[in-house]
Chains A and B, each alone.
Chain A
């Protein structure tokens, strides 16, 4: 299983590297007092991401007494590449990229994971238009469906797994598109370009005012995770992890966490085993996605 998974992940990584041949790998900060980079995959629009995480970066800068700069990769492949090459001091990863990067580059030191409403897990949501006739996942055969990036845990890999579990194969879909981010998925369903779409529950919640509804939720999966480069001083790593874990006690925690998500209540400790379900899903899904 491990061998198969490794082979699959290696192939996927190779594919990702092929689509991002010109991504620049910048060396992470080695200066003990130099600025740290906080990198994000573009699961949302870059400006939107910067806006969301700026309060957190400012908090970390104060806590670590050194600047923390936010950087957003052009796409998931670039972000995986940068993270795998330890080009980012702190990297925000979904469960699947963490697994993939671990398999390809070796496991990256874990810091914390998101805690939504006190839970360190989240779900993937398959949404349809509010007046849509579809009631079950099996109804989606023959429909047009939007997904996020193929490397996105919650907007592609998990929902594909959910469809497969419901007996709907990708080739059963009339059309399938992988959009640049979760917001595009929401808008694609809202505008009628797609009959259904898959996004993180966090994104769905933020867009509840739009004329969409949830068709199905996945099982809880460990939330997104912050990792550091493997070369980071363990003391700094522990300091960062401690700062993130104690953020909930900071006077400005509500503003800082609320800027990221209205349901984010803090950061929780994390271990590599928390992502075993992702490894299981990827084992099933990645071959399918690779074939498509």
Chain B
């Protein structure tokens, strides 16, 4: 603002100087013109006197026809007058009587033209005086006027400057500054309000736009919804139906509007259902249920119905919205599933009965076969007499035992899958269980030429587990390792505390290993990877699936890592809550 005032001051000063200069110039011009005219008038009067003299001379000589004397007199007169630059005398017939021109100064504003008569003739006289003196005088006058004007402008400007700015402009500027400050503050406030209002309007517009978009989206969602939607007033009169309503019910929109939902009511639906439904929604709650809906053509279909009250911001119910989803296919699927489930339950029941029968019916004769063959092999009642019989008895005993193992595994698998197998949990020492399993399989390992190493120490914490099933888990894992490890191989067992406080048991062999597909096959019931080894080491093919089931019964996890010709590692993780002594340190392998 201050800069603006300073700038304004200079502009005002400039205007003042300009106006003063203008007036001074005009005054100087007027004075100059007046004096110039006076000088010219004085010179003109002088020239008129001279012209009168010349006219008298000429008239006299012309009347005497003494032209030569006239010319001579003019010549003498001109030669004595340095201020005369032009003297022309011409007759009325255009003849030049006398002509004098001072070549170096023929242009002059001091020119006088007069005519004289003698007899019936007319003489025209042109007399020009040298204007040098006039010019010099005017030049001096101009210089004086210029200096005077300059002084006048300077003094007047300084006076005006002092008077204006000391007494007038400065207070005005201060007032203007104050007013401008107030105006700027008001403007800033106004701009701030405008900005706030603009922001609010923008926000409102944005909200409205979003709302409209939402409404449009919702409208489109409702319009394009695959669910039948209609809206009623509090009296139940339909005010809106979506296109799906027309498609599903067969009623056109114009037919439905103004009607009540009774036009969709199936006579099979008990009245109490509708009463409950209305009571619920009138109470302001949602009602959901499955109803049979009657189409315009009389056909009916199942629909999942959801009716909700629409409330305004103060909670007053204004409308109800009803959504009918056709669940006919789902109803049919549920019926089919129910039938399947019932069939499966029947089959499972038959299987359970079968297994129970097998458990009893198969194991009874097998026990007899295994018991009597063992008696005969042991020669409890004397030798068999022939070595061939002995060999046969061994086969009978081995086959019976294998068959019994198979049946037991099948029964266990079935029990696990059916959930009928319950754990007999107790405090178990893992080292004892492991040691017992190794000793049980020691002879088998020696026969296979495989080294069986155990690094599970007695410092491990005790576990809460089923002793028999834990031993079964370890036997199955070690037995599998022996079976699939070639002669000269090695099997290492170890256990340690897991990071989460649980227990990790690992069995690593140097066997044939498996690829990804082999791992999947191994975990499949009755699946074995290498058929030649399977034949070499007969198995039920249920070991790993059964083991995995038993581990999972203990809330643990079994994991296999393997690669062809690089051996297999079986990892069993038991949860922390199975570990009874958490302060026991990890055991290193």
Q: Do A and B come from one complex?
A: yes
Give every chain A residue within 8 A of B66 (Cβ-Cβ).
179-180, 184
Contact between chains at A177 and B65 (CB < 8 Å): yes
Give every chain A residue within 8 A of B95 (Cβ-Cβ).
190-192, 211
A218 interface hit (Cβ, 8 Å): no
A181 interface hit (Cβ, 8 Å): yes
User: Measured between C-beta atoms, what is the minimum distance from A47 to chain B in Å?
Assistant: 7
On chain B, the number of residues with a Cβ less than 8 Å from chain A's Cβ atoms is 14
Give every chain B residue within 8 A of A181 (Cβ-Cβ).
68
Cα A191 to Cα B72 with chains together (Å): 16
* Cβ-defined partner of A45 (8 Å) among B68, B91, B97: B68
Contact between chains at B69 and A188 (CB < 8 Å): no
Contact digits for A95-107, partner B, Cβ 8 Å, 1 yes 0 no: 0000000000000
A85 interface hit (Cβ, 8 Å): no
Contact digits for A188-225, partner B, Cβ 8 Å, 1 yes 0 no: 10111100000000000000000100000000000000
Contact between chains at B93 and A191 (CB < 8 Å): yes
List the B residue with the shortest CB-CB distance to A44.
B68
With contacts A45-B72, A193-B121 taken as known, whether A146 is within 8 angstroms of B65 at the C-beta atoms is yes
* Cβ-defined partner of A191 (8 Å) among B64, B69, B97: B97
Give every chain A residue within 8 A of B97 (Cβ-Cβ).
191
Contact between chains at B91 and A187 (CB < 8 Å): no
A274 interface hit (Cβ, 8 Å): no
List the A residue with the shortest CB-CB distance to B64.
A180
Contact between chains at B93 and A180 (CB < 8 Å): no
Contact between chains at B68 and A191 (CB < 8 Å): no
* Cβ-defined partner of B65 (8 Å) among A45, A47, A48, A184: A184
B165 interface hit (Cβ, 8 Å): no
B67 interface hit (Cβ, 8 Å): yes
Give every chain B residue within 8 A of A192 (Cβ-Cβ).
91, 93, 95, 121
Contact between chains at A187 and B67 (CB < 8 Å): yes
Give every chain B residue within 8 A of A184 (Cβ-Cβ).
65-68
Cα A184 to Cα B93 with chains together (Å): 18
Cα A45 to Cα B97 with chains together (Å): 17
Cα A146 to Cα B68 with chains together (Å): 14
Give every chain A residue within 8 A of B93 (Cβ-Cβ).
191-192
Cα A45 to Cα B66 with chains together (Å): 10
Cα A190 to Cα B90 with chains together (Å): 12
**Of residues 572 to 587 in B, which have CB atoms within 8 Å of A's CB atoms?**
none
Give every chain B residue within 8 A of A191 (Cβ-Cβ).
67, 91, 93, 95, 97
User: Measured between C-beta atoms, what is the minimum distance from A12 to chain B in Å?
Assistant: 22
Cα A14 to Cα B97 with chains together (Å): 37
Give every chain B residue within 8 A of A190 (Cβ-Cβ).
95
User: Measured between C-beta atoms, what is the minimum distance from B42 to chain A in Å?
Assistant: 34
Contact digits for A134-153, partner B, Cβ 8 Å, 1 yes 0 no: 00000000000010000000
User: Measured between C-beta atoms, what is the minimum distance from A49 to chain B in Å?
Assistant: 11
Cα A181 to Cα B68 with chains together (Å): 9
Give every chain B residue within 8 A of A179 (Cβ-Cβ).
65-66
> Which interface residue of B62, B66, B67 has the most chain A CB atoms within 10 A?
B67
List the B residue with the shortest CB-CB distance to A45.
B68
Give every chain A residue within 8 A of B62 (Cβ-Cβ).
193
Give every chain B residue within 8 A of A193 (Cβ-Cβ).
62, 65, 121
Cα A47 to Cα B67 with chains together (Å): 14
Give every chain B residue within 8 A of A45 (Cβ-Cβ).
68-69, 72
List the B residue with the shortest CB-CB distance to A146.
B65
Give every chain B residue within 8 A of A187 (Cβ-Cβ).
67-68, 71
Give every chain B residue within 8 A of A183 (Cβ-Cβ).
67-68
Contact between chains at A188 and B68 (CB < 8 Å): no
Cα A166 to Cα B67 with chains together (Å): 29
User: Measured between C-beta atoms, what is the minimum distance from A170 to chain B in Å?
Assistant: 17
User: Measured between C-beta atoms, what is the minimum distance from B435 to chain A in Å?
Assistant: 170
List the B residue with the shortest CB-CB distance to A180.
B66
Cα A34 to Cα B157 with chains together (Å): 87
User: Measured between C-beta atoms, what is the minimum distance from B99 to chain A in Å?
Assistant: 13
List the A residue with the shortest CB-CB distance to B72.
A45
Cα A190 to Cα B91 with chains together (Å): 10
Cα A146 to Cα B72 with chains together (Å): 20
List the A residue with the shortest CB-CB distance to B67.
A187
Cα A17 to Cα B150 with chains together (Å): 78
Residue ranges of B at the interface with A (Cβ–Cβ < 8 Å): 62, 64-69, 71-72, 91, 93, 95, 97, 121
7 closest residue pairs by CB, A with B: A187-B67, A192-B93, A183-B68, A179-B65, A45-B68, A191-B95, A184-B67
Q: A47-B72, A48-B68, A192-B95 are in contact. List 14 more A-B contacts (CB 8 A).
A: A45-B68, A45-B69, A146-B65, A177-B65, A179-B65, A180-B68, A183-B68, A184-B66, A190-B95, A191-B91, A192-B121, A193-B62, A193-B65, A211-B95
Residue ranges of A at the interface with B (Cβ–Cβ < 8 Å): 45, 47-48, 146, 177, 179-181, 183-184, 187-188, 190-193, 211
Interchain Cβ contacts under 8 Å between A and B, 6 examples? A45-B69, A146-B65, A183-B67, A184-B67, A191-B93, A193-B121
